[in-house]
Structure 1
Amino acid sequence: MFSLVEGASLSSFIFLGLACFCAAFIDAIAGGGGLISLPAFLASGLPAHVALGTNKIAACCSTIASSAKFAQSGKINWTMMKKLAIFSFIGAVLGVKTVVMIDSKYLYPIAIVLLLLVLIYTLHNKNLGEENQFKELTSQNIKYGIIMAFVMGFYDGFFGPGTGSFLIFALIRIFKLDFTNASGNAKILNLSSNIASVIVFSYMGKVNLLYAFSMAAIMIIGATIGAKMAVTRGSKFIKPMFLIVTTIVLTKMIAESIFHIDISSLIKSYMSIFI
């Protein structure tokens, strides 16, 4: 488990590192990094299930780095997260256990409709998330927050695509946060659900440790730079990135669900030309 995949070259390993850096940079700002990193891991020659587990560990380390940068800048409400993160973790554990019994493809139509509504609503409400209007935690917003954290945790463990977009949007709607603070707090909830997945994949031995930790080191750098840009440039920078990432995720899901186009395989094939 500590050697390069059979048939892989140093150039392919370097290309994987570049892809993971870009994935972490984008994910730190608006989520959606898995659209780049997972196909890259697959293109490196890892078996699908090992690629999933390896990607989760590297991405988890990346999320820790971006979360630390947001926390350092005071963009995380720890009181809020202490009340919500555990439910994200529990939801993810149940989601991972459920996915082995139910085909996740049945969630595609629901997720597509919800992502489309999120995109339309955000475009229609020009001032959404521009200013931080959070006042205080109340029994009502905590209740909605707990439900949201559990559902999103379950969704991330069971399915995954669009989790970052859903979390940011939900935090803005429930707690009246701006995009910068919503992105920071979303990282903590996403980290909680990711840890649950990492535990399961590691327990099952579906991880390549060399790839996981070498790419984790690279993704930590990308995530730190991305989070720094998000914090310094604020909501006016994050919102366009949020819309772009949400559109890409939505397009990918529509292509795979309606037109039966395997985008991940296309990306993998394209990357294989260079590696």
Structure 2
Amino acid sequence: MEILLHEWLSVNGLMLFTIGLLAAIIGVLFGAAGFVLLPAMLLIGIPIHTTVAVNKFATGFSALSNVVSFIIKGHLSVKKFTSLIVISSFGGVFGAFLATRLSEQIMNVVACVFLIFAFFIVLCSNKFIVRDIKETEEQPINKLIPFVISIYDGGFGPGSALMHVTYHLKKQYNYIKAVEVTRMITFSSCTGAFLFYYFTGIVNWGIAIPVSIGSIVGSFLGLKIIPYIKTKWIQILLPIIFFLLIVQVVSDLLI
């Protein structure tokens, strides 16, 4: 415990806290926490599977803090989304299972395919992102889509929350509601994935704790900023973020 405490309070611990903080802010606002978290951790020499496991723990923990806040404020109903929670949890477990049996290169290929597919959906469907706070008639959710995205989230993750947000916007959810539901799904898939990684011994607590604390702080800061986000910004930024994620993954494949 003393060794862990020393590691958390070191310069490396502060750097990990900052990475978690920035990733969570970007994750809450635009669903692209992996755009910061994964490449930053890989850059400082953390192995890919350890990075993904820590990412699931940190992202899941910060999402939980948001979900609890949403439920207390009456913004989310656990009963209404029970089936979605169960499905995304199983998706996270299955994704983690697949990831532990794939090489880093194959994981990057899978990520690239998912991101390119989602990128074209955003480009073709940009007209639906036209709502701010006002209520709209929400359409039924096809549970298969969140399940498939949760598999990807459990095994790798960059852009998964962005895919969820985009899907719920297409189903006529306003932006804030789409973010709230996405945080709940993210918590479920990350929890399922993390538990699998934990029981297979791929978790480094010296890394996971400072990143998670940063993620919790960043997630609440992100929620404070959301009401000030304009829909025009979303229309411009979503395709750009997707494109940058694709460039990042492709560059990893070519290295």
TM-score category (smaller protein):
0.7 to 0.9
Q: By how many angstroms is 1:32 displaced?
A: 1.1
What amino acid sits opposite 1:36 in the alignment? V
Q: By how many angstroms is 1:155 displaced?
A: 2.1
Q: TM-score, normalised by structure 1?
A: 0.76
Partner of 2:31: 31
* RMSD, aligned α-carbons: 3.3
Contact 1:89 1:192 in 2 (8 A): yes
Cα 1:154–1:7, aligned 2, differ >3 Å: closer, same or farther? closer
Q: C-alpha separation between the residues in 1 aligned to 2:212 and 2:198?
A: 15
Partner of 2:198: 202
Partner of 2:135: 132
Q: By how many angstroms is 1:31 displaced?
A: 1.5
What amino acid sits opposite 1:115 in the alignment? A
Deviation larger for 239-248 or 75-84: 239-248
Partner of 1:93: 93
Question: Do residues 167 (structure 1) and 170 (structure 2) align?
Answer: no
SS at match of 2:203: coil
Q: C-alpha separation between the residues in 2 aligned to 1:218 and 1:7?
A: 15
Q: C-alpha separation between the residues in 1 aligned to 2:174 and 2:86?
A: 23
Q: By how many angstroms is 1:245 displaced?
A: 5.2
Contact 2:25 2:219 in 1 (8 A): yes
Q: By how many angstroms is 1:51 displaced?
A: 2.8
Q: TM-score, normalised by structure 2?
A: 0.81
Cα 1:57–1:153, aligned 2, differ >3 Å: closer, same or farther? same
What amino acid sits opposite 1:218 in the alignment? G
Contact 1:131 1:177 in 2 (8 A): no
Q: By how many angstroms is 1:44 displaced?
A: 4.4
Question: Do residues 182 (structure 1) and 141 (structure 2) align?
Answer: no
Question: Do residues 244 (structure 1) and 237 (structure 2) align?
Answer: yes
Q: By how many angstroms is 1:170 displaced?
A: 1.4
Question: Structure 2 unaligned runs (5+)?
Answer: none
Equivalent residues in 2 for 1:79-90 (5 A)?
79-90=79-90
What amino acid sits opposite 2:203 in the alignment? V
Q: C-alpha separation between the residues in 2 aligned to 1:197 and 1:213?
A: 17
Cα 1:33–1:256, aligned 2, differ >3 Å: closer, same or farther? closer
Q: By how many angstroms is 1:65 displaced?
A: 1.8
What amino acid sits opposite 2:121 in the alignment? V
Question: Structure 1 unaligned runs (5+)?
Answer: 263-275
